[in-house]
Structure 1
Amino acid sequence: MGPPKKAKAKASASGSAKKKAKKASSKNAEPMTVDGEQAGPSIPAVWRPGLDEVGEDEELQYDPSTYDCMHIMSLDWPCLSFDIVPDGLGGPRSAFPHTLTLVAGTQAANARQNSLALMKLSDLGQGKHGDKAPKEDDSDDDMSDSDDEEEGNPVMHLRQVALSCGVNRVRAMPQQPGVVASWGDNGQVSIWDMGLQLAEVTAAEDERAQRGRPQRQEPRHVHRHSGEGYALDWSRASPGRLASGDCRRGIHVWDANEKGNWSVSGRYQGHEDSVEDIQWSPVEGTVFASCSVDKTIRIWDTRGKAVPQLSVVAHATDVNVISWSAQSTFMGPVTSVEWCPAEATMLATSSADGQLAVWDLAVERDPEEEAALAAHMNAASPEDLPAQLLFVHLSQSEIKEAHWHPQIPGMIITTAAEGFTIFKPSNVP
């Protein structure tokens, strides 16, 4: 392991689309007058949620230069979970505009209005963000609005499978992206063949957004747990292998068979409360980890008995995701965590207080570099702000899930009650 990295440019820059994230904007900064004399423009400061107050004469603003791009979109109903569907466009890719594909599950007011949604989003340009000069109009970006006439309008092609229940979690099989597993709020885990829908949105080239009505379809396989649940993960080392966990402590392992469906194991026993998340080992097809409201993380091996091989008390309260950052001192309960696929020491965490934070655990503080950045109107970093905290995004409330795009370095996608946000911080490679 090499020496620690130095803090990167804009290392503590933070931004938001709806809840502005800086006390002053360099774009609108004006000279101050002190005792009748004109002083230079003030340096904007980082606003820390929960710690810093906003005065009556202060307005929080975000700096578009802290993002390389940002887009906001939504479906008819909120989505608690989504997954990024691998595509055939190659990677890593960095040239704008971008195209990406997602699968999501809805939580509608009426159970029969729910659906699994397969979306291709294309023409995702930079607009007013990044190195381009910001426009005078500082309003939020939107999927239906044009960021830049030369880059065209973002477009969404949508195909939906009708459901009769809400979706707690959804995951696409890494080796066969058209195969999708969903955890329903009716206590059932279902596997769906969405290969046709994936082919349709992949082939769609019409510049107009195509939504389509939800279509009825039977799942390939259904397994009922003893109660509702959220934990769900496909193995990357063993194609077709799935694990699901429920709120009544049950864990089941699914294995694809020669007949084209799945056989499901008996219950793996060990947790003393709700199983909140499951993650397969990326290199071992028989090993997975689980975390629970019982405060533990447990390691399992399917080659042995259906009991944990290792159990660790990981926290004083519920453990809702497999790993979480102990440095998230300004955050509420962590709702999602994911390591960056392109940077070994970088991860993204989301929390119930609406923050998405990007961390680089190899960064060390560099006062000289911070002073040089401050001279160029970059936000001044408070002494108690961890150097490892690269970026804070505040566009949504109650973020449920966040993922790095595996083929577009630095691109992050989040889902919350009001919809999705797709963005790329300018200081993340």
Structure 2
Amino acid sequence: MPYQVIDGVRVFGEPEPQALAQAKTCARTGRVAGVALMADHHKGYSQPIGGVVVYEPDQVSPSGVGFDIACGNKAARTPLTLPQIAPDLPRIMDRIWQEISFGIGRKNPRPVEHPVLEHPLWRDEKHLRSLHRMAADQLGTVGGGNHYVDLFVEPPTQRIWVGVHFGSRGPGFRIASGVLNLMRNRPFDDPRTGERMDEPPALLDLETELGRFYWEAMHLAGQFAYAGRDHVVGQVLRILGTQADLEVHNHHNFAWLEEIGGQKAIVVRKGATPNFPAQLSFVGGSMGDISVILRGKESDEARASYRSTVHGAGRLMSRTQAVGKWRRQGGRRVRVGGAVDMEAVRRNLVARGIELRGGGPDEAPAVYRRLQPVLDAHAGSVDILHVLEPIGVAMAGPEVFDPYKD
């Protein structure tokens, strides 16, 4: 059997105890029809990352969806080949780093125009009116954490691909935290305080006024996230002076209304990718590992995973473990005790021909599982169509503070 069933939770890959404990809590909270852990699972807030929870169709979990609503991946294949761009690769990565906005601010002061900013919900919903300016300011910005803009080569053809990973930025975060505030009888715009990683899922009835608001606002955040990824991929294509001949765009951290076993259901996927037959998905590894284009296929395993698969390789090490803790030395604050030597990481990437811009110890390759074994755990439900190797990686630097990272 490609998965284990542990106390009612379907577990793909090697069980991670803390994530499994969270999944068990999810399974006994609310009107739950099923719970599964993808092979990249690890501990998250309320619902584990890599976790899939299936609810009866009148219930949703805002904490299960999480704070980076509709975080996702987009890949674009170009007609360019590696020999054509290799001499200019450092300059290309410099331009990506200089022209695309990582972290909070926008490097180009001219805002991005997009129809998503004209959506009537920004005007009609009182809690969203104050977020419209933030949305306009942040549309097309990448953010921090594990969010990236990458260039890849597909070895058999030497074709160049563009890949990005980020979500709904401040608006998605504020929608999630605001709804959780309202559920706790706090003002929508209160700073988020007191949440615990292991608290049970917060559940909303979709027939209530707040439930309907969340469902609509979640979908608006999803449209905003897609618009941002489209814009950034377009920026990279313009820098490369080319166009895409294939695009693959998918997201996680979302709730879908689907049919499970002939019955309607709400499927909450946190850090898990929808994987229906013939559906294409882009799944990324760490800055030093492969990424892939997957195609879903019909199988018992696909049904067992609730038509879901991985969204990445999955963390092995927390950010604090990788970077270290803050200590005061000689009158200033410094990081000490981190497990990752970032200078050694940079030397290794250079030796492998990978141009890195930004990035920090908390995103080093050693922090993550290798992607191939994770994919192997789902071999019965996916076909790997394209294997992509990184040649350029751009991420926010370790000094960048971004409260909206996932």
More relative contact order, 1 or 2 (CA 8 Å, 6+ apart) = 2
Higher relative helix content: 2
The normalised TM-score by structure 2 is 0.25
Q: TM-score, normalising length from structure 1?
A: 0.24
Structure richer in strand, relative to its length: 1
